[in-house]
Amino acid sequence: MARKLDDEIKQTRPFATLAQEAMLSVERTAAVLGHAFADALRAHGITRTQYNVLRILRGAGPVGLCRQEVRDRLVAEVPDVTRLIDRLEAAGLVTREADEHDRRFRNTRITRAGLDLLARLDAPVTEIHRRQLGHLTETELQTLIDLLATVRDGL
């Protein structure tokens, strides 16, 4: 049987509303899933957000993306994408150069080292997702995906 949120967070009073309980449950679940994922990435010297940027740039291909494009595709907003990319560049995982069509923009591209890191992480990340969500059926996963999309669409 699934644990109830109030037991997990040791809440002794009832939630003010069902919406409050749902919101806290989403936040708690995201935190639990996120911490486990962050721990796995830490061994490879990157954060969840850096991993997200590398995946975005791998998907962009050799053309790369400008900073704003990367920012717009991130799963979670970050306050300073420039510094985030600076750290990845210092680690040799990305490069930046002026856009050939508009010199005001700098394209960011994933390097061979960045691609190699993602290749090493592909199987472990798939395994993390399996461990975290593998107890759900495909129907339950699709329902979860649809419900979360419905929540985002309502905002």
pLDDT tens digit sequence for 108-151 = 999 999 999 999 999 999 999 999 999 999 999 999 999 999 99
* Residue 105 structural domain: 35-127
Three-state SS at 141 = helix
Average pLDDT, the chain: 92
- Residue 62 lies inside a defined structural domain of this protein: yes
Q: Which is more confident, 5 or 132? A: 132
Number of domains in the chain: 1
Q: List, as one string, the DSSP characters of the chain.
A: -PPPHHHHTT--SPPS-HHHHHHHHHHHHHHHHHHHHHHHHHTTT--HHHHHHHHHHHHHGGG-EEHHHHHHH-SS--S-HHHHHHHHHHTTSEEEEE-SS-TTSEEEEE-HHHHHHHHHHHHHHHHHHHHHHTTS-HHHHHHHHHHHHHHHHT-
- Residue 144 lies inside a defined structural domain of this protein: no
Q: Which phi-psi region, left, alpha or beta, contains residue 102 (left: φ > 0; alpha: ψ -120 to 50)? A: beta
Distance CA 88, CA 67 (A): 13
- Residue 59 lies inside a defined structural domain of this protein: yes
Least confident of 10-14, 74-78, 132-136: 10-14
- Residue 2 lies inside a defined structural domain of this protein: no
pLDDT level of residue 14 (50, 70, 90 thresholds):
confident
| Whole-number pLDDT of residue 106 | 87
- Residue 14 lies inside a defined structural domain of this protein: no
pTM for the complete prediction? Answer: 0.87
* Domain harbouring 101, CATH code: 1.10.10.10
Residue 15 pLDDT more than 80?
yes
